[in-house]
Amino acid sequence: MADGLRVTALAGGVGGAKLAEGLAYLLPPAQLRIIVNTGDDFEHLGLTLCPDLDTVMYTLAGIASSETGWGIEGDSFHCLAGLERLDGPAWFRVGDRDLATHLLRTEWLRQGARLTEVTRRLSTTLGVSHSLLPMSDRPCRTIVVTPDGELPFQTYFVKRKARPQLMGVRWDATMGIGATPEVMAALAWADVIILCPSNPFVSIDPILALHGVRDTLKESHVIGVSPIIGGEAVKGPAAKMLQELEGEASAAAVATHFQDVLTGFVIDCVDSGLAPRIRDLGIDVEVSETLMPGLDERVALAGRVLAFGSALRG
């Protein structure tokens, strides 16, 4: 079905990682590239943390926590307990084994390696054979605009639990910052580009905001998968953000948000009633089960998405 099809997926955190795992199960490394949002990255205790990259990497390595979706399965939090004991900043929960990733990444970045190269080394060592590409090698941080002022993404998301009203999103230093050469090559190379079911505003938009990416997508076959099912996000604040910024939390609102780049859109069976509205935007629609609690569902949805993309490509 997907014989020889070249696929590039754009992913954020947990939802994106699940579909990426399904795609990686079906496609050999030569046919799949995964571009990951780095807008969530931040500095914490001198370490460079890349939450989305790590979530995708740990998921593909088969070591992601099945309970939280982030971090490493069965990890301990003794360093965090030590930080609490010393009245240090413990608001961001970093596990002990997870910390090794951050220490090494930060060390290699300090030595001058590009984040692309660092990610390749880390993921290869963890046994990930598919190509994980950070969207940029340079910091391009998501800034959330709220009534309390502008907040760095992790402050808004973790410290403030995504409670402040969202008035807008912007990217620090996006101006003139492009995607990496590897990302641009992966977009040009792909027969089909997939927008994984990740948060539209803080997972997918940061990638699209990079110089040249949106224009490339407009010329490509782009299939999106809705992160909203029955008006709710499976995880995270996507529904609240859609309500606040677009006035409606629905799969149709996501399709509308991405209408300039989408060729096709996959929505959940419970949202089949929204299909006509999305088709009116000039976007083909596929209706499918889209919840992906386990590998079976991830592979099944990946298969549906690939078949849909392959068919649309004609």
Query: What are the residues binding its own copies (CB under 8 A)?
Result: 45-47, 72, 75-76, 78-83, 85-88, 95-101, 103-104, 106-107, 110, 122, 125-126
The single-letter DSSP state of residue 221 is -
Structure tokens at 123: 């993921």
CB nearer to its own copies: give 109 or 185. Answer: 109
Distance of closest approach, residue 99 Cβ to its own copies, in angstroms: 5
CB nearer to its own copies: give 46 or 149. Answer: 46
Distance of closest approach, residue 77 Cβ to its own copies, in angstroms: 9
Give the contacts of 190 (CB within 8 A, at least 6 positions apart).
6, 7, 8, 33, 220
Helix or strand or coil: residue 187? helix
The single-letter DSSP state of residue 178 is B
CB nearer to its own copies: give 99 or 217. Answer: 99
Distance of closest approach, residue 159 Cβ to its own copies, in angstroms: 17
Nearest 5 degrees, angle CA 8-CA 13-CA 18? 65
Helix or strand or coil: residue 1? coil
Distance of closest approach, residue 86 Cβ to its own copies, in angstroms: 5
CB nearer to its own copies: give 106 or 243. Answer: 106
Distance of closest approach, residue 133 Cβ to its own copies, in angstroms: 19
Is the distance from CB of 60 to CB of 119 less than 8 angstroms? no
Distance of closest approach, residue 253 Cβ to its own copies, in angstroms: 40
Helix (H) or strand (E) holding 10: strand 7-11
Alpha helix (H) residue ranges in 160-294: 181-189, 205-208, 213-218, 238-246, 251-257, 275-279
DSSP 61-114: HT-B-TTTSSSBTT---HHHHHHHHTT---SS---HHHHHHHHHHHHHHHTT--
CB nearer to its own copies: give 110 or 170. Answer: 110
CB nearer to its own copies: give 108 or 201. Answer: 108
Distance of closest approach, residue 88 Cβ to its own copies, in angstroms: 5
Residue 184: CB atoms within 10 Å: 17
Distance of closest approach, residue 240 Cβ to its own copies, in angstroms: 32
CB nearer to its own copies: give 106 or 146. Answer: 106
Whose CA is closest to 64, among 98, 99, 104? Answer: 98
* CA atoms of 274 and 66, how far apart (whole Å): 31
CB nearer to its own copies: give 96 or 297. Answer: 96
CB nearer to its own copies: give 122 or 306. Answer: 122
- How far from 162 is each of 3, 7, 93, 231, CA to CA, in Å? 42, 32, 16, 18
Distance of closest approach, residue 130 Cβ to its own copies, in angstroms: 18
